[in-house]
Amino acid sequence: MTIRLLLADDQELIRHALGVLLDLEPDFEVVASVGRGDEVTAAALAHRPDVALLDIDMPGLDGLAAAAVLTAQVPECRVVILTTFGRTGYLRRAMEAGAVGFVVKDAPADALADAVRRVMAGERVVDPTLAAATLAAGESPLTARERDVLIAARSSATVAEIAARLYLAEGTVRNYLSGATTKTGTRNRMEALRVADERGWL
């Protein structure tokens, strides 16, 4: 019984190389391969893969959102997130989105095939180094409001804009941003934003 795979990664060269690598395994077959997050569900419906390997950085729809849609619409397809080590903060959200595996691109060569087989066996698979790092990062210490403000800060450059968008006084916004920078151990809101984002606190 061969395992049918769907592959999603926006870097075509990488996607193709991974496809070749996986197709070499006698019990694997890559049945679909897409370069955009918003093509994942359609491809899954058309080709009925057993496992979907999704990158996080993709145009259209990111891998986490794609995972959520996919698990809702094609529940028999198991989702494995495959991404860069820097994006490890998304582990928790990936699990909430219904993923059952999380493999980093720094992992040893055979980790991917191994993860696929174990996922098919019903296990959840997470790189142990990664799990430890996530555990160390811990729960988000940010309050709901601090998170809101940080998210708004991502698209709005100035405090006044954020205040206007959230219907807050400027002082309030500055206060939340200050709290966020303290809790992230950074020195300004730009760094706080980056750190919080990396740790999956947004």
Partner DNA sequence: CCCGATTTCTGACAGATGTCACGGCGAATC
Partner DNA sequence: GATTCGCCGTGACATCTGTCAGAAATCGGG
Question: Distances from the Cα of 31 to the Cαs of 51, 87, 101, 151, 197, in angstroms?
Answer: 10, 27, 19, 37, 33
Nearer to DNA, 131 or 169 (CB): 169
Figure out which of the listed residues 168, 196, 200, 201 binds DNA, where binding follows CB under 7 A: 168
Residue 87 binding result from DNA, its own copies, none, given CB thresholds of 5 to 8 Å by partner type: none
CA distance 89 to 68: 17
Among 51, 177, 195, 196, binds DNA (CB under 7 A): 177
Nearer to DNA, 114 or 198 (CB): 198
Binding test (CB under 7 A) with DNA, winner from 35, 172, 183, 197: 172
Cα 23 from Cα 17, distance rounded (Å) = 10
27 touches its own copies by CB under 8 A: no
Binding partner of residue 112 among DNA, its own copies, none, CB cut-off 5 to 8 Å per kind: its own copies
Closest by Cα among 110, 109, 26, 13 to 55:
13
Can residue 196 be called a binding residue for DNA (CB under 7 A)?
Answer: no
Q: Residue 35's Cα: distance from chain center in Å?
A: 16
Tell me whether residue 27 or residue 170 sits nearer to DNA (CB atom).
Answer: 170
- Return the SS3 of 3: strand
Query: Which option in its own copies, DNA, none does residue 168 bind, with CB closer than 5 to 8 A by kind?
Result: DNA
Considering only residues 94 to 133 of the shown chain, the ones binding its own copies according to CB under 8 A are: 103-109, 111-112
* DSSP H stretches of helix in the chain: 12-24, 40-47, 63-73, 91-96, 111-120, 128-137, 144-155, 159-166, 170-184, 189-198
Of its own copies, DNA, none, which one sits near residue 178, judging by CB under 5 to 8 A according to partner kind? DNA
DSSP 118-166: HHHTT--EE-HHHHHHHHHH-S----HHHHHHHHHHHH--SHHHHHHHH
Token pair 């698990």: residue: 71
The contact set with its own copies (CB under 8 A) reads 10-14, 16-18, 20-21, 24, 84-85, 103-109, 111-112, 157-158, 187-188, 190
The contact set with DNA (CB under 7 A) reads 143-146, 157-160, 168-172, 174-175, 177-178, 181-182, 187-189
